[in-house]
Structure 1
């Protein structure tokens, strides 16, 4: 994947402009609420029976922060995101058996949360496209272990 300097610079800069903990938690909450079939991967998280239960679930919030931290770490590896995520790809495919489509769902939800956090004047359609490209690369990289 070829990255333009403007793409990389903007993606990196976004994470200094948002409350990472809040956006990370909200992203995973949105995934679980809007795409309820994704809850099957989080049986150990306790009560996920309603949007309210999901929003008040500390394990969901903590895991959302962890996921976003892993996404942010990818900004240090633009030249080799696939290699950087190889171990996570293996874990999600071989041990957790996560449907790779869910990685795209996560990317969609993250872009919605970023748009909400940054506003339309900051998160323009062009910049949204930068993040779609970034999340598509991450999704593809996480799904590479699947047959």
Structure 2
């Protein structure tokens, strides 16, 4: 799936973005809610306005989960098993939202990282987020 160089690049990207995980995650979520309004369904009980505490908190959780899983991509299914169960059985999130969020995360990273988000970095992140979304969706089958 990913080359060793791509895995190293992902590690560098997430290491750089961990300190701003709440901002990156909240921005990606807000992009998703704005662009795909149907995705807000699962958050109707939270304040999802820009920079709200709920959005920042949930955004941070998502970014930290994505960053943590990127450290051991070869065991992605094992690493994400608890999140698979949570999203499929307890939260019952539409798995299409994982792909939508992945796209919004790519746009957010590109806008925040500027020139350092090279085409190679973009391709590596796209492959990783696609795998991440696919693994989260596995429990729905």
TM-score for both structures, normalised by structure 1: 0.88
- Counterparts of 1:69 and 1:6 in 2: how far apart (Å)? 21
Offset from partner CA, 1:2-55 (integer Å, 9 cap, x none): 321110011010123333221111111111111111111012204x4xxxxx10
Are the equivalent residues in 1 in contact too, given 2:84–2:139 (CA < 8 A)? yes
Are the equivalent residues in 2 in contact too, given 1:24–1:68 (CA < 8 A)? yes
Are the equivalent residues in 2 in contact too, given 1:29–1:61 (CA < 8 A)? no
Matched, 1:69 2:64: yes
Count of aligned residue pairs for this structure pair = 139
1:142 pairs, out of 115, 122, 136, with 136
Which deviates the most, 29-38 or 130-139?
Answer: 29-38
Q: Which runs of 4+ in 1 moved over 3 A?
A: none
Please state whether the residue corresponding to 1:3 is helix, strand or coil. Answer: coil
Are the equivalent residues in 2 in contact too, given 1:20–1:68 (CA < 8 A)? yes
Q: Which has the larger radius of gyration?
A: 1
Are the equivalent residues in 2 in contact too, given 1:28–1:61 (CA < 8 A)? no
After TM superposition, give the deviation of residue 102 of structure 1 in Å. Answer: 0.5
- Counterparts of 1:56 and 1:88 in 2: how far apart (Å)? 24
- Counterparts of 1:39 and 1:20 in 2: how far apart (Å)? 21
In the alignment, structure 1 segments of 5+ residues that lack a partner are 49-53
Indicate the residue corresponding to 1:51 in structure 2. Answer: none
After TM superposition, give the deviation of residue 122 of structure 1 in Å. Answer: 1.6
Offset from partner CA, 1:98-134 (integer Å, 9 cap, x none): 1111101111111111111111x32122221100100
In the alignment, structure 2 segments of 5+ residues that lack a partner are none
1:58 pairs, out of 45, 53, 59, with 53
Indicate the residue corresponding to 1:31 in structure 2. Answer: 32
TM-score for both structures, normalised by structure 2: 0.92
1:129 pairs, out of 112, 123, 134, with 123
